[in-house]
Each structure stands twice: as C-alpha cells, then as structure tokens.
Amino acid sequence: MQSLTEKSPLGTYIEHVKKGELAYQVTEDGKAVFYPRAVAPVTGGDLEWRVSKGLGTVYSTTAMYFKGEAPLNVALIDMDEGFRLMSRVEDIDAMQVKIGMRVKFRAHPGDEKQAPYPVFTPAEGAK
C-alpha cells in the first residue's frame, strides 16, 4: 500500500528526482508551475507533469558563511522551461557563482533523513 506522500504531487516530484529527473507541472494553457501542487494556481484547473531538460540560468546568488566551514552558495535558478527554483550550484567556489551563469541540473541523492533534491553545476563552457 502506498503512503499519501507517494500519491501526492510532492511524492510524484520526489520519485522523478530519484530517477535523476527534474519534473515540473504545466497549466492547461501551458504555463510552467513549480513547486508541485494539486491544482493550478489562480484557476484551480488541472496540471500536467513534464520533465525539464535540466538547463537554466542563475537569476540570483549569495554565499552563506558558517564558522569553520567553506562558504555555501544559495541561488535562484531560472529554468529554460519557464519556472524558477531555489537551489545551490556545486563543483565551483561559492564566490565564483555569477548572475547569468548557465547551469545544469543534477540530482542529490539525499539520505534516510532527507529526500533527494535538485542541485546544479556549471554548464559546459560556463565561467
């Protein structure tokens, strides 16, 4: 028997991330929607699942500092399909992440305490 989370929009999203896919939803008129929802914002209409190609652009970025640790990057990423999400850019120094940088999706596997989640790396040729 499946749990309610597995049948929910969040459960569907997590299952996609587990498979290495960044899923999002679209409204009946084709507008991208993210974070997963049960019904379309404003209209309450149906939503359809799609899988992103995984490419986006850094819209905003900041570096957070914790005592005794390397800075951690936090970024808003505008995906090519038309939705924005908060994540981080890995495989690069936090201070080198720049607005306008092209990035690509990678699934972070999570662990027993945290579900898998999306992170990003610089896209080929990005500086």
Interval 88-120: pLDDT, tens: 999 999 999 999 999 999 999 888 888 999 999
The second-level CATH assignment, the architecture, of 4-122 is Beta Barrel (2.40)
**φ, ψ (nearest 5 deg) of residue 50:** -140, 160
- From the list 63, 33, 53, 68, the residue with the least C-alpha distance to 103 is 53
- From the list 100, 78, 80, 77, the residue with the least C-alpha distance to 89 is 77
Which strand (E) or helix (H) includes residue 15? helix 9-18
Work out the pLDDT band at 48, boundaries 50, 70, 90: very high
pLDDT surpasses 50 at 34 = yes
Give the bridge partners for 74, in sequence order: 62
